[in-house]
Amino acid sequence: MAALRFRFSPTSVARSVCVVWVAALVGGCSAGVPAPSPPAPPVPSAARPAAPAHRAANDLEDAYRRVIGDVLPSVVQIDAGEGLGSGVVYDDKGHIVTNAHVVDSGRSFEVTVATGGEALRAELVSSYPEQDLAVIRLDRPPAGLRPARFGDSSKVEVGQIVLAMGSPLGLSSSVTQGIVSATGRTVSEGRAGGGTGATLGNMIQTSAAINPGNSGGALVNLDGEVIGIPTLAAADPRMGGGAAPGIGFAIPVSMVRTVADQIVRTGRVTDSGRAALNIVGRTVLDRGYRPVGVAIVEAPRDGAAARAGLRPEDVITRLGDTEITTITSLLEALASAKPGQRMPVTYVRDGRRATVTVTLGEV
């Protein structure tokens, strides 16, 4: 804050051969033609396609069971008082990574591990709402606490089978299955329902079901590696804003580790890796109430925009090759950029259009 299986039965093959042979025999006798030749020898079992298909299905099921057995002990349920979410054990010192919107404004939490037992007390280490990530720490990590294994975001591919693990609707230790539907998505969270309002870049889209309570859990590949943190599901306006089935998003593990490593090491995020213009802005509407750009309200002197000569009341209309009409479109364009990157910014000042090159800052 996803397949019908057909099997080819060896028994069916044998019955089909028998029926065809009997029909030929009866037809030959009734027509008064010579008796048919003896039936062909049975098809060798090695040539039957059913056995390999059956083995493949069993192999996939075995892989699911192995991954679930390996990873589920590293996924916890987090009770934040106002609601439930999920988390992933980050290390053997009791650090747990989750979503910022799961911890919200809380400072202490009750954590239940997947293997059961009494709830454990945890305290907030730090929250980073700009990337919707947070780290909490167990007061007394239990013996045998199992940290998750984290994968490589650069190796995530469309079509890859993944499992989502967490506590959807409070049902702890739940697992859903799907594929990676897309990578590199940029999505914006709403603020309704406890969302942070963050714009998140490079997200993994998955068909594995993501429901309330899954947030902060684990998106896992079949090697048993966490490749992302399930964070939100798409909303379908035609369904009254309800979740659109099969369209969920997870923060990639590269960003998870960037943020969590800094929080564990220093207690806060000092290097976000997120580009910024360093402005306060607002969406501008034309006379037809259509959004046409972002007006700069504040541009601190040491910020990226001010250093490039932009100032309050300028209206930004383009960043790089992307047309800018709203604050959200500006944040989405920045989400795919990097601090220090030089990008052209088109703006309107006193009715005149101009372009400057900005060296992007950092959030």
The residues carrying an active-site annotation are: 101, 132, 215
Contacts of 209 (CB under 8 A, 6+ apart): 2, 164, 168, 176, 178, 245, 246, 248
CB atoms within 10 A of CB 78: 29
Please compute Rg for the chain using Cα positions. 28
* Contact yes or no for 243/231 (Cβ under 8 A): no
Cα–Cα separations (whole angstroms), residue 273 to 52, 117, 118, 254, 338: 47, 39, 38, 11, 7
Q: Are 242 and 235 in contact (CB under 8 A)?
A: yes
Provide the Cα torsion 31, 33, 34, 35; round to 10°: -20
For residues 90 and 147, give the distance between their C-alpha atoms in angstroms, rounded to a whole number. 5
**What is the rounded distance in angstroms from the CA atom of residue 313 to the CA atom of residue 182?**
38
Question: Identity (one letter) of the amino acid at 358?
Answer: V
CA distance to 115, 148, 184, 269, 276, per residue, from 258 (Å): 28, 16, 17, 9, 18
